[in-house]
Chain A
Amino acid sequence: MELRLKNLVKDFTGTRAVDTGELTILDGKLTGLLGPSGCGKSTLLYLISGLQKPTSGRIYFGDRDVTDLPPEKREIGLVFQNYALYPHMTVAQNIAFPLVNRKVKKAEIRERTAKMASLVQIEELLNRKPNQLSGGQQQRVAIARALVKRPEILLLDEPLSNLDARLRLEMREEIRRIQTETGVTTVFVTHDQEEAMSITDEIILMKKGVVQQQCGPQQMYLDPVNQFVASFLGSPPIDYFRFPLRDGRLWITEGYSLPMDVRHEGGILTGIRPEAWGRGDALQVQIQTVEHRGKDTLITFGLAGTRARALLDITDTVRPGETIGVTLRPQFLYLFDAESGVRIRQEEEQ
């Protein structure tokens, strides 16, 4: 079910936690709600769920205006950050709980509980209590409980934040698999950009309650609309430089420039992603530090008065202090207005 938010605003005393403008969340897709801590992700999720009331604006599930509906009438499933499994009930009772409320017949409850258990692969745990489960297993139970009533929309609030690194990788694949198998429209809150990039169909990136950009993960990475988006995605993050723009060229150093067809009044900030650099002979730089990261090697060097980061191939053996030749791949290079952070595009792009 497509989810539409119309100028949804939530004010807490003194702060505007959420201000969405027009926002559409795609039917049957996995959408990631991404942003730094305190940017209003959870608040937005609770507004969608109905647990919180918006200050103004409307929420539509498909054509249905649900703004004034209480949570239980919205046909949603919600997975909490710490799962909120009832500790005194078994896994089976936990999963069946929403169905018992709806006076579903006993036999059907048993059947649907079993089906959910097999979907999330916990058939053999049905008689355990939540405190006898690992974090990942609890997570699966929580998802099963949210899905057992066949909701129109599944909401997950930082579902992976309580898991350790390895389990987090495993569970995010699982969430992707379960979402694909059920086809339920899913909104997934996270503050981890890598998590959002790896499993979502679309990302909504928020900052201080305001949506910055909404698009597919790859497009958001390659084509950020502003400095905030560019900085938030990517690890190691993008670096910024104040290169001068003269005669239609961007001057990286006195002897190295790239053609840049922009017309802009005011200061310009150039963002360069570490993977934009490669070995070449455009520029000689002296390496300051070297960090071996497993799949690649991260080096730093001084450039235009600040520090630049570059990713080199893992087979490239370099040492600190060494001088090497590098070159830039211009597609990973972005210009922003120094004041507002808004992206400056080249003429032919527009």
Chain B
Amino acid sequence: MSRKKIGRPENPLGNTRFSGRAYLYLLPAFLVLAVFVLYPIVMTLRMGFYESYVYLTDVGSGFGLSSFRYVLRDPAFQLAIRNTLIIVLVGVPITIALALGAALFINSLTRGRGVFQTIYFIPYVTSTIAIGLAFRWLFHSDYGYVNYVLSFFGVAPQKWLTDPNLTVVSVTIFTIWNGLAFKIVLFLAGLQKIDPQYYQAARIDGTPPRRVFFRITMPLLSSTFWMVVIVSVIHAFKTYNEVYSMYDGKSAGPGNSAITIVYYIYDMFFNRSQVHYASAAAIIFLLIVLALTALQKWISKRFVHYV
């Protein structure tokens, strides 16, 4: 085998770094990005710093941080942060555990895998709105299956959708269920990438199942696992669909008790028309997500084996 480096083939476009042609080809994509990504971001930034703003005329007045002050002091926003954190800190670990368990189970099957792959994929291809409708019936305090099942365990019927203390629980359960399918897919892909010979080697050496899981499966799955964590956390932070579809977009449940950060932004914008507050909340949200991403980068460098 020769170790000689093969030179890069001549680029038919010439030196593209300085070629106007290349930029010409990129222009359509740039335009789309500029109109639908860049412009909204700049506008949001601008609007967030107004003290008052009229959307229809695009007239703002008073430049400063007062919108941020308002949002941060707004009890509804504080509730939104609390609810979002519940969804992230309680919901995500549960989804990941359930998805990993399901993926391990499906992966261990030798028969009937196709059936399961269809079943668990159904929620992924069904619209959240339709699932929301179904959940509304499941959680119905008089006729819902959730209360029906709980009644067997001696639990009194709960007002899942109307008790302000329970609405966030219902939304969390909904997000867990809604995100499951995609996470199972990711975990299954990760599990199937692991060479079965590692398991054969482990078997020959008489490795107990727990040790196989913690010393072989998890380390070899760690890059997938970490990706699922990142995707799930970001997804959970953006929870909005589930709230919208459970309450028809009119409110986030009784007293807005199931409000999330993104729902707060939506509510400020569409229901209350306070665009500058919505923008300020969006910027705060962006900062939170940025901080989180930085944290995740730092953790992944330390603890994830990319193999």
Hey, which bits of chain A sit against chain B, CB under 8 A?
A: 49, 51, 70-73, 76-78, 80, 82, 84, 86-88, 97-98, 101-102, 131, 145, 149, 164
Nearest A residue to B307 via CB reads A87
A101-B197 contact in complex given A87-B307, A88-B219, A131-B307, C-beta closer than 8 Å: no
Q: Is there an interface contact between A72 and B203, defined as CB atoms closer than 8 Å? A: yes
| Complexed CA–CA distance, A86 and B197 (Å) | 10
Query: B198 — which chain A residues lie within 8 A by C-beta?
Result: 84, 86
Query: A98 — which chain B residues lie within 8 A by C-beta?
Result: 205-206
| Complexed CA–CA distance, A86 and B211 (Å) | 13
Q: Is there an interface contact between A71 and B305, defined as CB atoms closer than 8 Å? A: no
Q: Is there an interface contact between B208 and A101, defined as CB atoms closer than 8 Å? A: yes
Separation in Å of the B69 CB from the closest CB of chain A?
A: 49
Query: A71 — which chain B residues lie within 8 A by C-beta?
Result: 203-204, 206
Can you report 13 A-B residue pairs in the complex whose CB atoms are below 8 A from each other? A51-B200, A72-B206, A72-B207, A78-B200, A78-B201, A78-B204, A82-B195, A86-B201, A98-B205, A101-B206, A101-B207, A102-B206, A164-B1
Given contact pairs A71-B203, A76-B204, A97-B207, enumerate 13 new A-B contacts (beta carbons under 8 Å): A51-B203, A70-B203, A73-B206, A78-B204, A80-B200, A82-B195, A84-B198, A86-B198, A87-B220, A88-B305, A98-B205, A101-B207, A102-B206
Query: A77 — which chain B residues lie within 8 A by C-beta?
Result: 204
Instruction: Tell me if B129 counts as interface (CB < 8 A to partner A).
Output: no
Query: A145 — which chain B residues lie within 8 A by C-beta?
Result: 201
- Count residues of B near A (Cβ-Cβ below 8 Å): 20
A97-B305 contact in complex given A84-B198, A86-B198, C-beta closer than 8 Å: no
Query: B195 — which chain A residues lie within 8 A by C-beta?
Result: 82, 84
| Complexed CA–CA distance, A49 and B204 (Å) | 8
Query: A131 — which chain B residues lie within 8 A by C-beta?
Result: 307
Query: B208 — which chain A residues lie within 8 A by C-beta?
Result: 101
Instruction: Tell me if B216 counts as interface (CB < 8 A to partner A).
Output: yes
Nearest B residue to A77 via CB reads B204
Chain B: interface secondary structure? helix
Nearest A residue to B212 via CB reads A101
Nearest B residue to A146 via CB reads B204
Please encode chain B, from 189 to 221, with 1 for each CB lying within 8 Å of some chain A CB and 0 for all others. 000000101101101111110010001100110
A72-B205 contact in complex given A87-B307, A131-B307, A164-B1, C-beta closer than 8 Å: yes
Separation in Å of the B218 CB from the closest CB of chain A?
A: 10
Query: B203 — which chain A residues lie within 8 A by C-beta?
Result: 51, 70-72
Nearest B residue to A98 via CB reads B205
Interface centre among B197, B205, B307 (most CB of A within 10 A): B205
Q: Is there an interface contact between A80 and B197, defined as CB atoms closer than 8 Å? A: yes
Q: Is there an interface contact between A97 and B205, defined as CB atoms closer than 8 Å? A: yes
Separation in Å of the A187 CB from the closest CB of chain B?
A: 14
The 6 closest A-B CB pairs, nearest first, are A72-B206, A98-B205, A84-B197, A88-B219, A87-B307, A88-B305
Please encode chain B, from 42 to 67, with 1 for each CB lying within 8 Å of some chain A CB and 0 for all others. 00000000000000000000000000
Q: Is there an interface contact between B204 and A86, defined as CB atoms closer than 8 Å? A: no
Q: Is there an interface contact between A88 and B206, defined as CB atoms closer than 8 Å? A: no
Query: A76 — which chain B residues lie within 8 A by C-beta?
Result: 204
B204 in complex: contacting residue of A51, A82, A102, A164, CB < 8 Å: A51
| Complexed CA–CA distance, A66 and B201 (Å) | 19
Nearest A residue to B201 via CB reads A84
Q: Is there an interface contact between B206 and A80, defined as CB atoms closer than 8 Å? A: no
Query: A78 — which chain B residues lie within 8 A by C-beta?
Result: 200-201, 204
| Complexed CA–CA distance, A80 and B199 (Å) | 12
Interface centre among A72, A77, A102, A164 (most CB of B within 10 A): A72
Q: Is there an interface contact between B205 and A101, defined as CB atoms closer than 8 Å? A: yes
Query: B305 — which chain A residues lie within 8 A by C-beta?
Result: 87-88
| Complexed CA–CA distance, A149 and B216 (Å) | 19
- In B218-247, which residues have CB < 8 Å from any A CB? 219-220, 222
A88-B307 contact in complex given A71-B203, A72-B204, C-beta closer than 8 Å: yes
Separation in Å of the B63 CB from the closest CB of chain A?
A: 53
Query: A164 — which chain B residues lie within 8 A by C-beta?
Result: 1
Nearest B residue to A85 via CB reads B201
Query: A87 — which chain B residues lie within 8 A by C-beta?
Result: 220, 305, 307
| Complexed CA–CA distance, A133 and B197 (Å) | 19
| Complexed CA–CA distance, A149 and B205 (Å) | 8
Separation in Å of the A250 CB from the closest CB of chain B?
A: 47
| Complexed CA–CA distance, A101 and B195 (Å) | 21
| Complexed CA–CA distance, A70 and B209 (Å) | 14
| Complexed CA–CA distance, A49 and B1 (Å) | 35
Query: A80 — which chain B residues lie within 8 A by C-beta?
Result: 197, 200-201
Separation in Å of the A246 CB from the closest CB of chain B?
A: 54
Separation in Å of the A326 CB from the closest CB of chain B?
A: 39
Separation in Å of the A134 CB from the closest CB of chain B?
A: 13
| Complexed CA–CA distance, A12 and B8 (Å) | 49
Query: B1 — which chain A residues lie within 8 A by C-beta?
Result: 164
Nearest A residue to B211 via CB reads A101
Separation in Å of the B221 CB from the closest CB of chain A?
A: 11
- In B241-267, which residues have CB < 8 Å from any A CB? none
